[in-house]
Amino acid sequence: MTKPSHTTALPALLDLPDLTGRTAVVTGANSGLGLATVDGLARAGAHVVLAVRDTDRGEDAARTVTDARGTLEVRRLDLADLASVRRFAEDWHGDLDLLINNAGIMNVPESRTKDGFETQFGTNHLGHFALTNLLLPYLTDRVVTVASNGHKVPGTRIRFDNLDLAGEYTPVRAYAQSKLANLLFTLELQRRLTAAGSPVRALAAHPGHATTGLQRHDRSPGRRVLMRAMNRLVGQDGTAGAAKTLYAATRDLPGGSYVGPDGLGEQRGAPTLVGRSAAAGDPDTARRLWTVSEELTGTPFPERLRTPSPHA
């Protein structure tokens, strides 16, 4: 466990409440938006668990977060391996206030997770789906899933007949499907939490155009050039991008809310509630996706949920 000692302040976009005594898990926390989210939560006093594939890189990242009032802990989690997800959850004990489903990959070449799923859908959606269901019995406050307005790519839908996009794979199509799945997951999770009488809330957030390392993995040289141009024109750093996640994690917002930037085209700006595509708000598709995801991961919605802590 690391006790930090100095950090760069968040921009005036967001002032965080005191999070002393709160515990948060942030996936994909060793760089970019994830590390900026860790930084904000720890500076506000939270104990933050960096859930990362490479714990050495996670420890290095934790050492860059200094002068925070909270503490940091690094644990291994590979969202592309359901056995790793289960081990992470099995090792969890005690209340968990905030689960930040931040990790993600974007526009990568066609490949499969350890369990045989298309990698973007398997990592961005199924890994977080399983992690959330396994940790829900410990959760006291909320789940925030980082989505993307990539879910609005024309023609994007959940291909229930071909979730792996076999024979018709493109990196953009697969990424858009996974981000649509994030929003449908949030919608159905909130419905189930409400039906169970749980005060835990499910929210989603997108950063706008953030200049993080995520874009370096795009297989298309043309898109990489375009993204570098967009970075110069409208890009925000990871700290400004993470402000949307932190807003969703700490503000008194309705369950099911979607947070993004208030600027032109939702590319940059201060956090605000934003809209989603019609496909991302379809409750029937959300229920169907949940059923399929349970079958694929073997992780159903838990029968029992923990009573929140008094401060939640």
HSE of 31, CA atoms in CB hemisphere, 13 A: 12
Q: Which residues are catalytic?
A: 175
pLDDT at site 37? 97
Strand partners, 6: none
pLDDT at site 220? 56
pLDDT at site 67? 83
Which helix (DSSP H) or strand (DSSP E) does residue 259 occupy?
strand 258-261
The most distant pair of C-alpha atoms in the chain lies apart, rounded to whole Å, by 52
Whether residue 81 contacts residue 113, with contact meaning beta carbons closer than 8 Å, is answered with yes
In three-state form (DSSP H/G/I as H, E/B as E, the rest C), the secondary structure along 100-119 is EECCCCCCCCCCECCCCCEH
pLDDT at site 267? 86
pLDDT at site 11? 44
CATH fourth-level superfamily of 23-297: NAD(P)-binding Rossmann-like Domain (3.40.50.720)
Whether residue 35 contacts residue 3, with contact meaning beta carbons closer than 8 Å, is answered with no
Strand partners, 143: 99, 202
pTM for the model stands at 0.88
Task: Show me where the domains of the chain are located.
Answer: 23-297
pLDDT at site 14? 72
pLDDT in tens, the chain (312 residues): 554 433 334 444 478 999 999 999 999 999 999 999 999 999 999 999 999 999 999 999 999 998 899 999 999 999 999 999 999 999 999 999 999 999 999 999 999 999 999 999 999 999 999 999 999 999 999 999 999 999 999 999 999 999 999 999 999 999 999 999 999 999 999 999 999 999 999 999 999 976 665 545 555 565 444 545 444 444 565 688 999 999 999 999 999 999 999 988 878 899 999 999 999 999 999 999 999 999 999 999 999 887 555 544
Q: How far is CA 133 from CA 61, 102, 182, 197, in A?
A: 27, 16, 14, 16
Q: Write the single-letter amino acid at 154.
A: P
